[in-house]
């Protein structure tokens, strides 16, 4: 997996730098996500892994993507096809999304609670997290009754477990040691 990430990194960086310069970051993200989904299709993966010529690969991939790619996106796909890198499009799209979040100083935060959070609670939580993380926060709220009460908050590599289930688990660990 890290090998695919290493291969995808220069493509994602180049696409992102171009998108910023062209003021089309959101459009590029949409194109890359679409192309990544096409490349993950079972039939397309088989075709891309086969021995088709570069021209055949480019033609088929661009026909499938049709009008979802602008001319610059099509050129990007052609370059990736020439280098036989279309299978790493999912990693390119993921890294592009990370670069976009870093550029926009945003972070997606997964919040798990036992019950649905009210709009006021989400606003308060979002403001507190924005202050702590120094970034704009996008909350992804989930409900999991097994945490009993409290919240589990995950942002990048940070985890805050304020759930009753988590506290009971830590208490049990302390009692066993």
Sorted by where each starts, the structural domains of the chain and their CATH numbers stand as: 2-102 (1.10.520.20), 106-176 (3.40.30)
Q: Which residues pair with 141 in a beta bridge?
A: 111
- The answer to whether the pTM exceeds 0.95 is no
Average pLDDT of every residue of the chain: 92
- Pair 23, 6: CB distance under 8 Å: no
Strand order in the sheet with 136-143: 136-143, 106-113, 151-155, 158-161
Average pLDDT over residues 107-129: 94
Please give the DSSP secondary-structure letter assigned to residue 56. Answer: H
Q: How far apart are CA 39 and CA 36, in angstroms?
A: 5
Q: Give the residue among 13, 157, 19, 26 at the shortest CA–CA distance from 91.
A: 13
Per the listing, tokens 């026909």 go with 63
Averaged pLDDT, 61-80: 92
């Amino acid at each position: 997996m890290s090998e695919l990430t290493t291969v995808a990194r220069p493509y994602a960086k180049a696409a992102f730098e171009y998108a910023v310069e062209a003021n089309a970051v959101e459009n590029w993200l949409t194109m890359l996500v679409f192309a990544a989904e096409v490349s993950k299709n079972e039939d397309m993966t088989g075709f891309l892994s086969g021995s088709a010529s570069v021209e055949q690969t480019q033609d088929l991939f661009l026909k499938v993507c049709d009008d979802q790619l602008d001319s610059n996106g099509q050129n990007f796909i052609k370059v990736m096809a020439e280098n036989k890198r279309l299978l790493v499009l999912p990693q390119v799209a993921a890294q592009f999304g990370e670069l976009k979040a870093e550029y926009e100083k945003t972070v997606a935060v997964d919040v798990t609670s036992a019950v649905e959070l009210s709009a006021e609670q989400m606003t308060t939580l979002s403001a507190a997290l924005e202050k702590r993380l120094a970034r704009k926060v996008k909350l992804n709220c989930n409900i999991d009754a097994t945490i009993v009460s409290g919240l589990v908050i995950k942002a990048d590599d940070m985890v805050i477990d304020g759930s009753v289930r988590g506290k009971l688990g830590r208490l049990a660990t302390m009692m066993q040691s």
